[in-house]
Structure 1
Amino acid sequence: MRFCRFCGAKEIQFRKSGKFGCVHCAQIFNYPKPNRRIKIPENQIQTLESFIKENLSSLTLFSLRTRITRNLKSSLFPFYDPLLDKSKQLLVESGFGSQLYLDTNLPSLHLEENPEPRMGFYLGSEDHIRWEEISFHPYPNRNQTLVQKKEKISIFRFLFQKSHWAELPEIGFVSSCPTNLGAGRRDSILLGLTPEVVSEFFSILQTLSEFGIEFAPSTDYRIRNIGKDRVLVVKISWKNVLAVQKRQFYKILGLLGSY
């Protein structure tokens, strides 16, 4: 039976949990490799764009979210050890202690009136550290102060500093889940759809799945009232897609420049 001689994880454990035990597992076990084309064909872009323009009044943007996950370099992954103290120490020493939340006290996300954007690090999940930013405005970067912009730049420099993180040259950053290898990044939006457009919108999104775009009714907010209307809340997300793909999709939804 195949196993990782560095952390001891067996293939049967990997198949059952779907999680790596260390960075070397990504070189040892077999798993589906993403094979995504760079650009969405123009005819599919036009189909989606036409649908959005014709049904704009039936779509409501609730939120945009970006998550970036990292595992510590030369360490067992949370499958074996969450390394909460070591992760916290790294964040504090890097100047991000004030932005740290434990998984149990991360601010909850509610679709309330005029919610405030939020950004921070949290621990205790399937990866050692996760950074998350949530915005409730289609152009979250537009009104940022110079201090806020510099803070965000410093966060991204930290997250992409290879000396801190589990990383392989041929793969990139190694997350616990094989589907998140590479940049370790997932972007998502929550949209409200009126019932009459759900079927057509889902049919169009289905044609984009090969480009890394996933969609499903939100498990947290399946149905919500907006005024007198009831809408289905849908989550659309991307894992590690190339920037050109995301820009194309965001542009259609009127979100160009959001991230």
Structure 2
Amino acid sequence: MLDKHLESVLSDWMQTENEKPVILSSRIRLARNLEGFVHPLMSDDQSSLQVREAVTKVLAPHYEGFVLEDLKETEKYMLVAKHLMSKELLKSNHGGLFINEDESVSIMVNEEDHIRIQVLGKDLSLNELYEKASEIDDLIDDALTVSFDENLGYLTTCPTNIGTGMRASVMLHLPGLSIMNRMTRIAQTINRFGYTIRGIYGEGTQSLGHIYQVSNQLTQGKTEKVIIEDLTQIVEQIIEEELQIRKRMYNYEHSETVDRIYRSLGILKYCRKISVEEASLRLSELKLGIDMGIIEGIPFRFNELMVAIQAPFIMTMQDKMTIDETRAQMLRAHI
């Protein structure tokens, strides 16, 4: 049942005693389409239903499936907040979603492509995630005919995904680089190599709480192995630069850094009304203070709170207060 996936804001695979200072998660996503069917953006109701029925026969024995039309709007947005489905799937006619027990795997049906396989994990574990995604891909490929061209590779709705159909991404917490206005330079540098930096919910979204997704932009001309190797090197360099910036902030801008962090702590402890944008920023700066050893003794779970402050989860706690007032109350109880 869907309830078990929504009763906790944090997926089981993300549960950990000690959160890393920079790396929050890794993801492999594979885009696939079925031969003989119009791609989702152009398909009619009948085609969409046929695709969902065909994919369901393959995945239902292995994963728990949900029909989007059967879900409440709030439930859909909660799934988006947990990164188990995309905002694009909300617009789908006859969309489907399949999730495994610990929520490390989610498979979307009739999103931009017929099938979007997503595998999530901790740390910089892209190779392991790709192996898991490939197993699901093989399961589908053995039962259904996937659109593939010997010269072009996998055929996808968006031309930028043609080839491997793979997007590898790593979610990073980069307050140092963000505060020091280094993100534009980094984005320009990695763009030259076919990689990009996006916001917390992917393409077209803003950064919340100094969180950024680093991912490949090109899916053709490189193998999956090379894309992952190059992305890993880029991420490692970004992490190193973030840690160096934090040392500089601690050693040479200590007073300003401590003031920034304690101001955020004060707002989180005493605010009576707060937007999701400001809450994200203050939580990010509090995490920075904890990771730098400036603040101690606060039971703090950044990943969990970053999901819990999203509007769909706040709405489930609302009484007579506004969303911003309820969010502030929840944060005061946790900080």
Give the TM-score of the pair, scaled to structure 1.
0.56
| Higher radius of gyration, 1 or 2 | 2
SS of structure 2 residue aligned to 1:199: coil
* Equivalences for residues 1-259 of structure 1 within 5 A: 60-81=22-43, 83-99=47-63, 100-102=65-67, 105=76, 107-110=79-82, 117-139=103-125, 154-158=135-139, 164-196=145-177, 199-218=181-200, 222-224=207-209, 232-239=210-217, 240=219, 241-242=222-223, 243-251=225-233, 253=235
The separation in 1 between residues aligned to 2:199 and 2:56, in whole angstroms, is: 37
Does the 8 Å contact 1:101/1:122 carry over to 2? no
Structure 2, unaligned runs of 5 or more? 1-19, 84-101, 238-335
The separation in 2 between residues aligned to 1:134 and 1:88, in whole angstroms, is: 23
Amino acid at match of 1:120: S
The separation in 2 between residues aligned to 1:203 and 1:212, in whole angstroms, is: 15
Larger proportion of strand: 1
The separation in 2 between residues aligned to 1:178 and 1:188, in whole angstroms, is: 19
The separation in 1 between residues aligned to 2:161 and 2:191, in whole angstroms, is: 16
Shift of 1:159: 5.2
Identity rate of aligned residues, in percent?
18
SS of structure 1 residue aligned to 2:43: coil
Partner deviation per Cα, 1:182-218 (whole Å, 9 max, x = no partner): 1111111111112455533542342221322011343
The separation in 2 between residues aligned to 1:139 and 1:133, in whole angstroms, is: 11
Shift of 1:174: 0.8
Instruction: Provide the aligned length of Structure 1 versus Structure 2.
Output: 181
Does the 8 Å contact 1:222/1:233 carry over to 2? yes
Amino acid at match of 1:238: N
The separation in 1 between residues aligned to 2:113 and 2:227, in whole angstroms, is: 26
Amino acid at match of 1:124: N
Larger proportion of helix: 2
Shift of 1:110: 3.9
CA change 1:196–1:167 in 2 (3 A) is closer
CA change 1:126–1:141 in 2 (3 A) is closer
Amino acid at match of 2:117: W
| Higher RCO by CA contacts (8 Å cutoff, separation 6 or greater) | 1
Name the counterpart of 1:36.
none
CA change 1:169–1:248 in 2 (3 A) is closer
Partner deviation per Cα, 1:142-191 (whole Å, 9 max, x = no partner): 7x9xxxx7x75531323556961122222111100011111111111111
The separation in 2 between residues aligned to 1:91 and 1:233, in whole angstroms, is: 34
The root-mean-square deviation of aligned C-alpha atoms, in Å, is: 3.6
Partner deviation per Cα, 1:114-146 (whole Å, 9 max, x = no partner): xx552021113111111111223334777x9xx
Does the 8 Å contact 1:63/1:190 carry over to 2? yes
